[in-house]
Chain A
Amino acid sequence: MSLLLGALTLGFIFSLVALGVFISFRIFAFPDITADGSSTLGAALAAMLLLHNVNPVLATSAAFAGGFLAGTLTGTLATKFKINGLLAGILVMTGLYSINLHIMGRSNISVLGSSTLSTYAERLGIALARVHNLNVMGWDITALEASLLVASFLFIVLAGCVMYVFFQTNLGTAMRATGDNNEMVRALGVNDENMIILGLGLSNGLIALAGAFIAQYQGFSDVQMGIGMVVWGLASVIIGEALVGTRQLGLSITGAVMGSVLFRLLVAIALRLGLNPNDLKLVTALFVFLALIAPGLLKKLNILKLQSSHA
């Protein structure tokens, strides 16, 4: 049961990564892999500040700001300096590895014992529900687990709604149009380069926020924790698109969250069934690979079928 709750909670937290990847890959069609570095940056910043007894809300906000800056840096390299987008992301990600080590001082730091958003959520949960342990259908759940699940769910609903509204404002519409047709957007007086920079900033801000939440959820920050983040986010987005389609912004956002939760559940089940945790990233990469080539393969199959039926 706590495995299930944990998977759901992680799924909600990782939806922030999915939403970030959705902004860069889908809205801007920009293959941004800064995420691997910016998620760790978020975790490192939050953990470091928490260890110095900074208020958890402030520490988490600082993580968002750090990720935002990293994203704008990638965007600036790609637009103002005309560096290939993939390479710009690699450069920033690589640079961040050292920066993250500097922030943390070593490769792994624990925040257990500090007050974090997790302890906040637990205290609030206990205050509201007035019990320390729940019993749901015969399963024992700690107040911590339940509070974290509810809190992460509420936060992701809020984030999704804010994002949905934002992308329909004048600024958000201009950003979506930039990803769609930058020639047109320039002809309508929008500085498309600034839109990309800002968009990547928001994307990596969300991803760093996820990093900060993960650090507080699992109680530590690790310099390696961001590896594979882009692929996880992409897997969630792809699952979401398969679930709800791509026609509408609201659906896409909901889909990315659902994809992330479903993906975490699948991972939890696979691990339970004996998948070696070391193989997790390989399996994820294979999954994304298959999902990316599937539409093309299906088309080819259809053409072959048509040809054979004509023959």
Chain B
Amino acid sequence: MLEIRAASKTFNPGTPNELLALQAVNLTVNDGSFVVIIGTNGSGKSTLLNAVAGSFCLDSGAIFLAGADITKWPEHKRAKLIGRVFQNPFSGTAANMSIAENLALAAYRGKPRRLGWPLRKHLVSQLRDRVSQLNMGLEDRLKNPIGSLSGGQRQALTLLMATWLHPEVLLLDEHTAALDPKSADQVTALTDTIIRRDKLTTLMVTHSMQQAAYLGDRLVMMHRGRIIQDFHGAEKQRIRMDDLLARFEEVRAPNYSTRAPPRCCAACISDKPSSIIIAPTQAK
């Protein structure tokens, strides 16, 4: 179980650029729950995931994962419990190292690195096995540098790496946003398959309303460093893309206050463009 208690983070405190990125966010995620997080640009979605991963320390609040208080743990120590896929396909893999070496690094996630040999026979055959399940023909290219692969292939492998050793929580931050539509669909399908198969507790940030509507069993919406909406169970299953688009329009209106009552309407979005992606972000 992941429990975020009153997590707050202010960037550049005391300067004109002061930014309340997280404002006392509470979120409890049950084991095996797949939470999709949406929100306007700069609403704090990535900051929330980074807080869990330990990229920075919280100003106040606490984070519990698998029964441990990890609030003060450094990033590399938390990695024992956490699998992570970044938005940028270049961030999740070591480009100059081979596919096999990258996967082997992930197979030892959170374990001490000593003088043992990583690419033992049984690990290599296991690698080949799991990579061939991706149906990308990569099993015959295990010795090739991972930098020679396409973004989609790299994200698929990063996903495989992040979930190799059943993580207590899987963090996905717009991991399909930098991909072409076809690769994005492929990686999305793979994500869903792996998460269901391994019953992984997951936090997934996305800008795709389609993903938000059809993936996961819970939907959380963020705005200005707060969680402003939280759909569970049947309510989540009923949500349509149109409802989400409408909700976005609402919070973006200049007179919106975070205390306004939630309201869903499908009618007011008739003039929306057909694209299902709201405000796609560019890969850095």
Contacts and interface: CB of A to CB of B under 8 A. Distances in A.
Interface string A176-191: 1100110111111111
B76 A176 contact: no
Contacts of A170: 108, 113-118
Closest 4 CB pairs of A and B: A189-B79, A180-B94, A189-B110, A174-B113
Contacts of A181: 90-91, 93-95
Nearest to A174: B113
A189 B118 contact: no
Interface residues of A, number: 21
Interface string B265-276: 000000000000
Contacts of B76: 186, 189-192
A177 B94 contact: yes
Contacts of B113: 170-171, 173-174, 190
Contacts of B53: 187
13 contacts: A169-B115, A171-B113, A173-B118, A174-B113, A183-B91, A184-B93, A184-B94, A187-B53, A187-B92, A187-B162, A188-B106, A188-B108, A189-B109
Interface of B: 53, 74-77, 79-80, 82, 84, 86, 90-97, 101-102, 104-106, 108-111, 113-119, 161-162
Interface of A: 166, 168-171, 173-174, 176-177, 180-181, 183-192
Given A170-B113, A170-B116, A183-B91, A177 B75 contact: no
Contacts of A166: 115
A171 B111 contact: no
The winner among B74, B77, B115 for most chain A CB atoms within 10 A is B115
A191 B113 CA distance: 10
A191 B76 CA distance: 6
B99 to A, nearest CB: 13
Nearest to B101: A173
Contact of A187 (B79, B96, B108, B119): B79
Given A183-B91, A184-B92, A184-B94, 10 more contacts: A166-B115, A169-B116, A173-B105, A176-B97, A181-B94, A186-B79, A187-B53, A187-B79, A188-B109, A190-B105
A241 to B, nearest CB: 14
B105 A188 contact: yes
Given A170-B118, A171-B115, A176-B97, A186 B75 contact: yes
A60 B76 CA distance: 36
Nearest to B75: A186
Contact of B117 (A168, A176, A177, A192): A168
B53 to A, nearest CB: 7
Contacts of A168: 117-119
Contacts of B74: 191
Nearest to A170: B113
Contacts of B118: 168-170, 173
A12 to B, nearest CB: 26
Nearest to B81: A189
Contacts of B93: 181, 184
B91 A177 contact: no
A180 B80 CA distance: 21
Contacts of B108: 170, 188-189
A293 B6 CA distance: 53
Contacts of A189: 76-77, 79-80, 108-111
Nearest to B147: A180
